[in-house]
Structure 1
Amino acid sequence: MSCLICAGGAERIHCQGPWEERDCPDCGRYRVADELLLTLIEQGQIFDVGKTRGWLDSRRAEVAIPSIEVHEALLVG
């Protein structure tokens, strides 16, 4: 399975709800809302790897597994 942020190798973690969860050696463990993934695919967009990794690192100070939703992706982008 591939990382949703950097496209490198990552482990897919099964989770409850409308999420895709990954554990990437470079990006760490995170969740991305299904709604956001569909929006990115429809618009042909990808994550900015550096900005997204930085945002995930800052969120890990508050939560163990950060979740990226549509409104957060707009702020990161």
Structure 2
Amino acid sequence: MNCLICVGTAERIQCQGPWEERDCPDCGRYRVSDQLILALMDQGQIFDVSRTRGWLDSRRMEEAIPSIEAHEALLVRSSGD
């Protein structure tokens, strides 16, 4: 399985609700809402890897497994746009 942030190899974690959860050696453990994943695919966008990793690190101070929802996404256009 791939990391939803850096596209590296990551473990998919089973979770309840409308989420995809991953544990990536580089990005850590996190959840991304299904709604956001669909929006990313639909709009041809990707995460800004370094900004997203920084955001996840700051969120881990408040919660063990941070969740990225559509309204919180740090996105950049994919290359070629």
Class of the TM-score when normalised by the shorter of the 2 chains:
over 0.9
- 2-structure distance, mates of 1:16, 1:70: 18
Partner residue of 1:53? 53
Identity of aligned residues (%): 77
TM-score normalised to structure 1 length: 0.96
Report whether the alignment pairs 1:27 with 2:31: no
- 2-structure distance, mates of 1:29, 1:41: 21
- RMSD (CA atoms): 0.6
Query: Could you say which structure has the higher helix fraction?
Result: 1
TM-score normalised to structure 2 length: 0.91
- Structure 1 residues 1-77: aligned runs within 5 Å: 1-73=1-73, 76-77=74-75
Unaligned runs of 5+ in 1: none
**Structure 1 stretches of at least 4 aligned residues deviating more than 3 Å after TM superposition:** none
1:31-64 CA-partner distances (Å, limit 9, x unpaired) = 0000000000000000000000000000000000
Unaligned runs of 5+ in 2: 76-81
